[in-house]
A and B are shown apart, each in its own frame.
Chain A
Amino acid sequence: NAGVTQTPKFQVLKTGQSMTLQCAQDMNHEYMSWYRQDPGMGLRLIHYSVGAGITDQGEVPNGYNVSRSTTEDFPLRLLSAAPSQTSVYFCASSYDYRAYEQYFGPGTRLTVT
């Protein structure tokens, strides 16, 4: 079991560029989510999905887009990168939307110049 994997580990973008952060899990988990971690702000929820084809917004969704076409994958798209999106991004998964333990990926460190 690889658990939750994320690619790339590091990325530098220029303002206005777009990119997709990849997240995959091999545990057949229904629930997946994206968080960003910023100094002084802690971890905040961006988007989440309770199953394939179903997504919803979290606390800080602006500037990000998600889709969930398979159970395994939950990519996060930055449509037009801004310096305010410089952060560390974590993907997480759990068995389903109920009160189950959540497992986190290793993170993607993104810098927008």
Chain B
Amino acid sequence: KQEVTQIPAALSVPEGENLVLNCSFTDSAIYNLQWFRQDPGKGLTSLLLIQSSQREQTSGRLNASLDKSSGRSTLYIAASQPGDSATYLCAVSEAAGNKLTFGGGTRVLVKP
């Protein structure tokens, strides 16, 4: 059974520092990996989708890498801002369809 882990569970950084969020998964037979942002009491907003054949994906200040063989993905957020404070979730899509298995999330606080 696929298991997805995100460490640390919480992270606090000063504004302007780069954020590095980690995601690991146990079964490398994935179709894709998706990073989401969730604000308190809100739904999930998709940030980046990396296909299994890709090594990385970029959008603005966000960059996500994928290493299938080691079962790891990293989300980098450059020059963090207080507005980046949220919970970040990673999820992998199983090879047998589009069912997502989620990690527990990393709660990020960016201090002004």
Contact = CB atoms under 8 A, between A and B. Distances in A.
B44 interface: yes
A98 B31 contact: yes
A107 B42 CA distance: 7
A96 B98 CA distance: 8
Interface residues of A, number: 26
Most A-side CB within 10 Å, residue of B32, B51, B103: B32
B44 A50 contact: no
Nearest to B6: A42
A98 B43 contact: no
A45 B34 CA distance: 15
A43 B98 contact: no
Given A42-B103, A42-B104, A102 B98 contact: yes
A102 B34 contact: yes
Given A43-B89, A107-B42, A99 B31 contact: yes
Interface of A: 31, 33, 35, 40, 42-45, 48, 50, 58, 90, 92, 94, 96-107
8 contacts: A42-B89, A43-B102, A45-B100, A92-B100, A99-B31, A104-B43, A104-B44, A104-B45
In the A-B complex, the 10 residue pairs with the smallest Cβ-Cβ separation, listed nearest first, are A99-B31, A104-B44, A99-B32, A43-B102, A106-B43, A101-B49, A104-B43, A42-B102, A97-B98, A42-B104
